[in-house]
Structure 1
Amino acid sequence: MFISPIILTLIILLLALISFICEFFPVDTTAIGITVLLILCQLVTPEEGISGFSNSATITVMAMFILSAGITRTGGLQIVRDLLFQLGGKSLRKQIASLGIIVGFISAFINNTAVVAVFLPIIESWGKKRKISLSKLLIPLSYTAILGGVITIIGTSTNILASGLSKKLGYGEFSIFLITPIGIPIFFIGLIYLTFIAPRILPERKSVSNDGLDVDYGMKDYVSEIIITPRSNLIGQTLRQSGIQRKFDIDVLEIIHNDIHFPQPLADKILSLGDILLVRGSKEDLLQIRDERGVDILADVKFDEEKVEDELSFGEDKVAEVLILSNSRLIGSTLKDLRFRQRYNATVIAIRRGEELLRERLGKVRLRFGDLLLVQGPKESFIGLQTTRELLVLEERDIETLRQNKAYIAIAIVFGVVILAAFNILPILVSSLVGVMLMIFTGCLKPGEIYGAVRWDIIFLLAGLIPLGIAMDKSGTNELIANYIVMLGGYLPNYFVLVLFYFFTALLTEILSNNAAVLLMLPVAAEVAENLDLNPIAFMLAVMFAASNSYITPIGYQTNTMVYGPGGYRFLDFTRVGLPLTLMFTFLVPFFIIIVYGL
């Protein structure tokens, strides 16, 4: 039976939407799968199917990730830390305003996900010094980074992708500062909202001044001491030989022998009579160990007198929160599969996933982007964790892990990339690649570090979905959808057609992702504008702004997901703060677009 190309394309599009929404697979896997399906159905040629990997937008986004890494790896962003502390003062509104101006300006030129990753530990430290709840600061951090990203074309991968699609559709690439006349007023309107209105709505979920990590994670109920008695069959065995960590759902965090605290690694430590083991585990597992291995569970009187966190951080050990970043290879794996304890010489005590706190069967939990791990281990292990590109320790980085003597060189390189592209001396693709090579030649980045700097999930998402756009164009699907929208647009003023595109794209971004929303909506927007004899640039910019401004949920944009766990937020906290902002921009952005570019 013959199926028309339009119907076939719509079926594949529907499958893509279902997979994105239900998260059957990671978004990049779904995108590549869609490409393969398009080729098999002969909706695109094999050459068109892989064209996304050579697309100028994909390569430019990749280069910008590397340039952002050069700034962060040299500590270029830490230069503004003291300025932030100085300007913040004691007023929450003043702190949000100063944070917003600094973060927003940086996000206009550096990938905003990288900016939030650097500022998260800084805000943690700032919150402790100022005795402010992190939940009052981290949503403003994420939102101002998003707002700053729409001041220039290079602020987000979404803007760069929109520029590449515009070129492909025959309207030319966007210049770096094309959207600045709109982005700046939108940024300051958003900052005024976050400074004067949001503090009344923002919850006080997580205090860094009163309660420690032990209270936040309920560690008192899951961290206990057991003592090896004369009847114990553990005497003379190493921890590895005993197999108690494999058989029972426990982790041995520390061994105390004759008042001497032995930190990780503990696998080859021989257990002796009277040894005290500090363990993470449920009461059920501890009772089973007591019965089978002849140990006694010590009363937790000590933990009533002093915090569990202090006990875990004794001597050379420490406890800290570690965030799983979006480019982490740990995503989708379990702690057991990763051999996390052996790899990082540290133990995960609990996992916070949004509102959910996981403290049992941790070895079997599949890790996700945004998961917050409570980790205990030797202090030197955390220095190693600070240098990994897959995990973010929520404390300020040790100076020795940064190439601070190269910071101003990295900043100069990024500034040069912007100048060359802004004055049309070189295309942004060429200037960004030149910048990448300069980062390596000047020692700001080592050659091997550039691979870890790239968000490969974004690259494969772009490369995988670009052929879907080609199929929608070739099959006439874009034209069909555009015709239906034009019919509706005949009953609406032109301004409200633009508002409709903004609102629908904003909702689609919350459901899918910002890049997927642009890839699907921007060609349709241009088609509708042509059919209504309106300005296609105005419609494409409306789609781009809507896709780049995601505030309603913690999963619609990467920076929101990053602050979700550290801020101790609930899902609807983002909706309460972000929905008014989204609705306000739904009407304001089209208004500014019409004023600046006409309709």
Structure 2
Amino acid sequence: MSIFATLSIVVLTLICFVYEWLPVDMTALAVIVTLMALGLVTPDEGISGFGNSATITVMAMFILSAGIARTGAIGLVNELLLKWGGKYSNRQILAIGIITGPISAFINNTAVVAVFLPIIENWCHKQRISPSKLLMPLSFVTILGGMLTTIGTSTSVLASGLSEKLGYGAFNLFQFTELGLVVFIIGLVYLTFIAPRLLPERETSNINVITQKYDLKDYVSEFIIAPTSNLIGQTLRRSQLQRKFDLDVLELIRNNNHFPQPLADKLLQAGDILIVRGRKECLLTVKDERGIEILPDVKFQNGFWEKDLSSGEERIAEVLILCNSNLIGSTLKDIRFRQRYNATVLAIRRGEELVRERLGQVRLRFGDVLLLQGPNESFLGLQTSRDLLVIGERDIETLRKDKAGIAVTIGLGVVIVAALGIMPILVSALLGVVLMVLTGCLKPGEVYQAVRWDIIFLLAGLIPLGIAMDKSGTTQWLAQTLVAIGGNLSGYWLLTFFYLITVLLTEVLSNNASVVLLLPVAVQVAKSLHFNPMAFILVVTFAASSSFMTPIGYQTNTMVYSPGGYKFLDFARVGAPLSFLIMLIIPPLIIALYGL
């Protein structure tokens, strides 16, 4: 019964992850409560994930990565990127890989992509290159770079903790660097010479194509307030134009003078021209009820409207919802987005989906790209936001560049101390966190903002699930079943089987969930068939980080999904051959380097 109960919880957890009925951190919390309520783990075991060394190490690495990113230390190499990139996609991808891959070995790859995404977007704009040719390779090389060291990904840190718990010792910092380096080089060669032929070429990063990219022509219009209109003498707030008719007023023109946001308290007069976002049907309703005259959309000819907004005091730009954003799960109406950021959302791009209606009711997700219009000052403020990433060139310097050298020194110190065995990585990472704050690289409040709390809760929930699988005998039962099915397979084919099943599970679930569920099973199978358990630990660890086939399998893929203008199957077309190539080389490399 305990095996049945544990398996039921595992299956329900997987279903919740796939269908996203709840945020992953809430699903993980529900797992903890369910396991304790059913007696599958004790209360102490249920909360043990919060105090687990892997969880605390991952949390510390998030903070260290934020400290290095916040000082601009990563961005300082962008001049090398621009210098080495040249005009050909092969060379550009190679330059991106050489620069960002090694950085990702020591810094959280989400932070690396967040820094380089605007840089590459701006580079594409200047070189008239399609961002779709470079953003997916950026994501992939940071994933490959994360496989170079134990601290490169939270997955490796978690696998290290599980390995220690199972009696095979924690990983040292460079436990699998030889293996990771070979995989990185082969992956970079694939991305440099083969991927450019498979990558799509979508619209270029050019402000003049935004109306086409977001199909705004039918959603942005002008109307004039007629002398008989009942809007005369009212403010926009009192008129309820925006609330009642699902319209957003972007700009008010009076006697050739342009008035940008905020406009809520502006008194309307006869002859005022309003530029609004909304459906034509809504405008016709306003015309009948409020007495307006709809003007021809002449401003869209040759992109004049965009040029007008993007010069002077007004601007139009895309912003990305970051993975640790407080806006996730909220609607624009809930958070009073226009009042909070003094900018208007014109459209939302979610992967292949484009949302332009009833924007205030859409629940925001990680990876959404918002097309914003507003004063330049609003975008300057957004550049310091921890919730949104402006995709474009920075107008002002908001980074603590004077602290960049200190942040890099602290980061290197953490790595060197751990590599020499002077301190465990947990201790050196926490010491680095304290030094980041004491030296001013991070402010105390930024420490909490830097942590991916969804990942921390996910780890805290998965660790007791692994304990329950072990205590109930579920792990042993699954291992015995696999031994009965594949007992006649050679070690090479068993490693290949575990690589394949882990990759497929990772593409639809969290990579951390794949490690927790499959690593103990792989070890049991190895012990039963008298193979080297460390070989199976490594194959599961690497497979769990090899998420290239979907935009939802890994957070960096999600980050570049909408900005690159990709379709879902673009990732499968480029990522599946890479996953297959790595699957062919990982088992023989593990056998050669670590034995079977």
Does the alignment pair 1:401 with 2:411?
A: no
- The match for 1:77 among 42, 52, 74 is 74
- The match for 1:232 among 225, 229, 237 is 229
Find the counterpart in structure 1 of residue 531 from structure 2.
Answer: 534
For the Cα contact (< 8 Å) 1:214–1:307, is it kept in 2? no
Find the counterpart in structure 1 of residue 49 from structure 2.
Answer: 52
User: Quick one: distance in 2 between partners of 1:92 and 1:543?
Assistant: 33
Find the counterpart in structure 2 of residue 34 from structure 1.
Answer: 31
Find the counterpart in structure 1 of residue 343 from structure 2.
Answer: 346
User: How far is 1:209 from its partner?
Assistant: 4.8
For the Cα contact (< 8 Å) 1:220–1:308, is it kept in 2? no
Structure 1 letter corresponding to 2:585: L
User: Quick one: distance in 2 between partners of 1:570 and 1:54?
Assistant: 40
User: How far is 1:162 from its partner?
Assistant: 0.7
User: How far is 1:53 from its partner?
Assistant: 0.2
Find the counterpart in structure 2 of residue 217 from structure 1.
Answer: 214
Find the counterpart in structure 1 of residue 370 from structure 2.
Answer: 373
Find the counterpart in structure 2 of residue 318 from structure 1.
Answer: 315
Q: Alpha-carbon deviations, 1:508-550, whole Å to 9, x = none?
A: 0001111111111111111111111111111111001001110
User: Quick one: distance in 1 between partners of 2:84 and 2:301?
Assistant: 40
- SS of 1:498's equivalent in the other structure is helix
Q: Alpha-carbon deviations, 1:243-275, whole Å to 9, x = none?
A: 110001110011111111111111111111111
Find the counterpart in structure 1 of residue 244 from structure 2.
Answer: 247
- The match for 2:571 among 553, 571, 574 is 574
- The match for 2:546 among 533, 540, 549 is 549
Does the alignment pair 1:432 with 2:429?
A: yes
Structure 2 letter corresponding to 1:245: Q
User: Quick one: distance in 2 between partners of 1:342 and 1:413?
Assistant: 39
Question: Taking structure 1 as reference, are residues 99 and 426 closer, same or farther at Cα in structure 2, changes over 3 Å only?
Answer: same
Answer with 41-50 or 14-23: which moved more: 14-23
Find the counterpart in structure 1 of residue 388 from structure 2.
Answer: 391
For the Cα contact (< 8 Å) 1:214–1:308, is it kept in 2? no
Question: Taking structure 1 as reference, are residues 537 and 305 closer, same or farther at Cα in structure 2, changes over 3 Å only?
Answer: closer
Gaps of 5+ in 2: none
User: How far is 1:488 from its partner?
Assistant: 2.5
Answer with 143-152 or 266-275: which moved more: 266-275
User: How far is 1:383 from its partner?
Assistant: 1.5
- SS of 1:318's equivalent in the other structure is strand
Find the counterpart in structure 2 of residue 91 from structure 1.
Answer: 88
- SS of 1:573's equivalent in the other structure is helix
User: How far is 1:587 from its partner?
Assistant: 1.9
Find the counterpart in structure 1 of residue 184 from structure 2.
Answer: 187
Does the alignment pair 1:511 with 2:511?
A: no
User: Quick one: distance in 2 between partners of 1:416 and 1:396?
Assistant: 32
For the Cα contact (< 8 Å) 2:380–2:396, is it kept in 1? no
Does the alignment pair 1:111 with 2:108?
A: yes
User: Quick one: distance in 1 between partners of 2:467 and 2:192?
Assistant: 43
Structure 1 letter corresponding to 2:253: I
User: Quick one: distance in 2 between partners of 1:61 and 1:273?
Assistant: 60
Does the alignment pair 1:170 with 2:204?
A: no
User: How far is 1:213 from its partner?
Assistant: 1.5
- The match for 1:523 among 498, 520, 523 is 520
User: How far is 1:368 from its partner?
Assistant: 0.7
Does the alignment pair 1:66 with 2:63?
A: yes
Q: Alpha-carbon deviations, 1:443-502, whole Å to 9, x = none?
A: 000001001000000000000111100000000000000111112232211111011001
Find the counterpart in structure 2 of residue 127 from structure 1.
Answer: 124
User: Quick one: distance in 1 between partners of 2:303 and 2:95?
Assistant: 37
Find the counterpart in structure 1 of residue 150 from structure 2.
Answer: 153
Structure 2 letter corresponding to 1:494: G
User: Quick one: distance in 1 between partners of 2:331 and 2:164?
Assistant: 43
User: Quick one: distance in 1 between partners of 2:79 and 2:311?
Assistant: 30
- SS of 1:424's equivalent in the other structure is coil
User: Quick one: distance in 1 between partners of 2:523 and 2:291?
Assistant: 74
Find the counterpart in structure 2 of residue 597 from structure 1.
Answer: 594
- The match for 1:12 among 9, 15, 20 is 9
Regions of 4+ moved over 6 Å: none
User: Quick one: distance in 2 between partners of 1:209 and 1:267?
Assistant: 31
Structure 1 letter corresponding to 2:360: G
User: Quick one: distance in 2 between partners of 1:384 and 1:480?
Assistant: 56
For the Cα contact (< 8 Å) 2:247–2:277, is it kept in 1? yes
- The match for 2:415 among 415, 418, 421 is 418
For the Cα contact (< 8 Å) 1:71–1:411, is it kept in 2? yes
User: How far is 1:71 from its partner?
Assistant: 0.9
User: Quick one: distance in 2 between partners of 1:232 and 1:451?
Assistant: 52
Find the counterpart in structure 2 of residue 287 from structure 1.
Answer: 284
User: How far is 1:395 from its partner?
Assistant: 1.5
User: How far is 1:210 from its partner?
Assistant: 8.5
Structure 1 letter corresponding to 2:286: I
Q: Alpha-carbon deviations, 1:65-107, whole Å to 9, x = none?
A: 0000001110011110000000011111001101111110110
User: Quick one: distance in 2 between partners of 1:170 and 1:66?
Assistant: 29
Q: Alpha-carbon deviations, 1:26-69, whole Å to 9, x = none?
A: 11111110111000000001111100000000000000000000
For the Cα contact (< 8 Å) 2:135–2:564, is it kept in 1? yes
For the Cα contact (< 8 Å) 1:317–1:376, is it kept in 2? yes
Answer with 548-557 or 583-592: which moved more: 583-592
For the Cα contact (< 8 Å) 2:321–2:388, is it kept in 1? yes
Q: Alpha-carbon deviations, 1:389-413, whole Å to 9, x = none?
A: 1111101334431001001110111
User: How far is 1:305 from its partner?
Assistant: 4.5
Find the counterpart in structure 2 of residue 335 from structure 1.
Answer: 332
Does the alignment pair 1:304 with 2:301?
A: yes
Find the counterpart in structure 1 of residue 199 from structure 2.
Answer: 202
User: Quick one: distance in 1 between partners of 2:489 and 2:237?
Assistant: 72
Q: Alpha-carbon deviations, 1:176-222, whole Å to 9, x = none?
A: 11110000110010011011111111001231259521221111221
User: How far is 1:308 from its partner?
Assistant: 2.8
For the Cα contact (< 8 Å) 1:317–1:379, is it kept in 2? yes
User: Quick one: distance in 1 between partners of 2:491 and 2:446?
Assistant: 49
User: How far is 1:565 from its partner?
Assistant: 0.1
Find the counterpart in structure 1 of residue 441 from structure 2.
Answer: 444
Answer with 189-198 or 521-530: which moved more: 521-530
- SS of 2:129's equivalent in the other structure is coil
Aligned Cα root-mean-square deviation (Å): 1.1
User: How far is 1:315 from its partner?
Assistant: 2.5
Find the counterpart in structure 2 of residue 459 from structure 1.
Answer: 456
Structure 2 letter corresponding to 1:409: I
Does the alignment pair 1:470 with 2:467?
A: yes
Gaps of 5+ in 1: none
User: Quick one: distance in 1 between partners of 2:302 and 2:40?
Assistant: 69
- SS of 2:378's equivalent in the other structure is helix
User: How far is 1:307 from its partner?
Assistant: 3.2
For the Cα contact (< 8 Å) 2:208–2:306, is it kept in 1? no
User: Quick one: distance in 1 between partners of 2:399 and 2:302?
Assistant: 39
For the Cα contact (< 8 Å) 1:254–1:263, is it kept in 2? yes
- SS of 2:583's equivalent in the other structure is helix
Query: Structure 2-normalised TM-score?
Result: 0.99
Aligned residues: 596
User: How far is 1:301 from its partner?
Assistant: 2.1
